Amino acid sequence: MLGITDYLWRLIPANPILLRVVESGGKRRRDLFIRCAYLGLLVFFVVFSLLSSSNQITGNASLSELAKTSSKIFQNMSYLQLGLVALLAPIFTAGAITQEKDSQTYDILLSTPLTNGQIVFGSLLSRLFFVVALLVSGIPIFSITQIFGGVAIRSIALSFAIAAATAFVTGALAMAIATFKVGTRRTIFSFYLFIVLYLVGTLLLDQVPYFQLQGRSINPNQESHISWFTGLNPFLALRVIFNDPTYAPPELGDLPENLKSWPLGWYFSSPASFYINFMFFLSVVLVLPSILMLRRVAQSTVSLKTWVLQKLHISRGDRTRKPRTVWMNPIAWREAKTKASAARASLLRWGFIAGGLAGAVAMVVMYGTEEPVARYVSSASYNLVTRQLSIFDGQRAVTYLVAPGFQLTVDRLDTEGKPKKDVHGPDYLTTISRMRVVDPQRDIPSTGGSVAALEIAPIERRLSEASARQFLLGAVVVEFAVILLIVTNAAASTVTREKEDGSLDLLLTTPITSRYYIWGKLRGLVAFVLPLIAVPIVSALLFIVYDTYRYATGQAGADFKWIVFPEAVFIMPGTLVIVAAFASILGMQMSLRCRTTVMAVMSSVGIVCGICAGMGWCGTASLSSSGNELGVVLGAFSPFTVLTILINPYQFAERLFAEGTEADATNSRVLLFLFSWAAIGVYTAVVWTMYKSMVKNFDMTIRRQSR
* Whole-number pLDDT of residue 444: 58
**For 198-249, what is each residue's pLDDT tens digit?**
887 888 778 777 677 754 445 455 556 778 888 888 988 888 888 777 777 8
Residues 259 and 231: their CA atoms lie apart, in Å, by 14
* Whole-number pLDDT of residue 275: 92
* Whole-number pLDDT of residue 582: 94
> Which residues of the chain carry a pLDDT beneath 50?
1-2, 4-5, 7-12, 24-26, 55-56, 183, 215-217, 219, 317-318, 340-343, 441
**For 389-427, what is each residue's pLDDT tens digit?**
888 876 677 888 888 878 788 877 665 556 677 788 877
Which letter does DSSP use for residue 411 in this model?
E
* Whole-number pLDDT of residue 42: 78
Q: Is residue 371 part of a domain?
A: no
What 3-state DSSP class applies to 257? helix
Scored b (16 or more CB within 10 A) or e, 345-380 reads beebbeebbeebeebbeebbeebbeeeebebbbbbe
* Whole-number pLDDT of residue 349: 78
Q: Is residue 302 part of a domain?
A: no
- Same domain, yes or no: 280 and 196: yes
Q: Is residue 548 part of a domain?
A: yes
Long-range contacts of 483-486 (CB under 8 A, 24+ apart): 483/529, 483/532, 483/533, 483/576, 483/580, 484/579, 484/580, 484/583, 484/608, 484/612, 485/189, 485/192, 485/193, 485/196, 485/605, 485/608, 486/189, 486/193, 486/529, 486/532
Q: Which of 539, 529, 587 is nearest to 563 (CA)?
A: 539
Q: Is residue 325 part of a domain?
A: no
Chosen domain end from 257, 285, 313: 285
- Same domain, yes or no: 485 and 452: no
Chosen domain end from 436, 458, 480: 458
C-alpha distances in Å from residue 288, one per residue of 106, 175, 273: 19, 10, 23
* Whole-number pLDDT of residue 8: 45
* Whole-number pLDDT of residue 154: 84
Q: Which domain holds residue 11?
A: 2-285
* Whole-number pLDDT of residue 120: 79
* Whole-number pLDDT of residue 405: 78
Q: Is residue 216 part of a domain?
A: yes
Q: Is residue 310 part of a domain?
A: no
Give the chain's domain count: 3
* Whole-number pLDDT of residue 7: 46
Question: Taking a C-beta distance cutoff of 8 angstroms, is the pair 541, 355 a contact?
Answer: no
Specify the amino acid at residue 214: Q
* Whole-number pLDDT of residue 261: 82
Strand pairing of 449-458 and 396-413?
parallel
Residues 648 and 473: their CA atoms lie apart, in Å, by 7
Alpha helices of 453-513 — where are they, by DSSP H?
465-492, 496-501, 503-508
Residues paired with 388 in a beta bridge: 383, 401
Residues 469 and 130: their CA atoms lie apart, in Å, by 40
- Same domain, yes or no: 481 and 397: no
- Same domain, yes or no: 418 and 510: no
- Same domain, yes or no: 159 and 30: yes
Q: How far is CA 94 from the centre of its chain?
A: 20
Count of CB atoms within 10 A of residue 549's CB? 12
* Whole-number pLDDT of residue 535: 93
Q: Is residue 315 part of a domain?
A: no
From the CA atom positions of the chain, what is the Rg in Å? 29
- Same domain, yes or no: 538 and 660: yes
Question: Taking a C-beta distance cutoff of 8 angstroms, is the pair 458, 370 a contact?
Answer: no
| Distance, first Cα to last Cα, the chain | 38
Chosen domain end from 421, 440, 458: 458
- Same domain, yes or no: 169 and 91: yes
* Whole-number pLDDT of residue 685: 95
- Same domain, yes or no: 334 and 262: no
Alpha helices of 493-567 — where are they, by DSSP H?
496-501, 503-508, 514-552
Q: Is residue 485 part of a domain?
A: yes
**For 578-626, what is each residue's pLDDT tens digit?**
999 999 999 888 888 887 776 777 778 778 887 887 788 777 777 766 6
- Same domain, yes or no: 59 and 142: yes
Q: Which of 529, 542, 530, 531 is nearest to 569 (CA)?
A: 542
* Whole-number pLDDT of residue 260: 80
Question: Taking a C-beta distance cutoff of 8 angstroms, is the pair 238, 76 a contact?
Answer: no
Scored b (16 or more CB within 10 A) or e, 322-338 reads eeeeeeebebbbbbbbe
Burial (CB count <10 Å: 0-12, 13-18, 19+), residue 77:
buried
* Whole-number pLDDT of residue 187: 60
- Same domain, yes or no: 212 and 197: yes
Question: Taking a C-beta distance cutoff of 8 angstroms, is the pair 389, 451 a contact?
Answer: yes
Specify the amino acid at residue 352: F
- Same domain, yes or no: 452 and 473: no
* Whole-number pLDDT of residue 346: 67
- Same domain, yes or no: 514 and 406: no
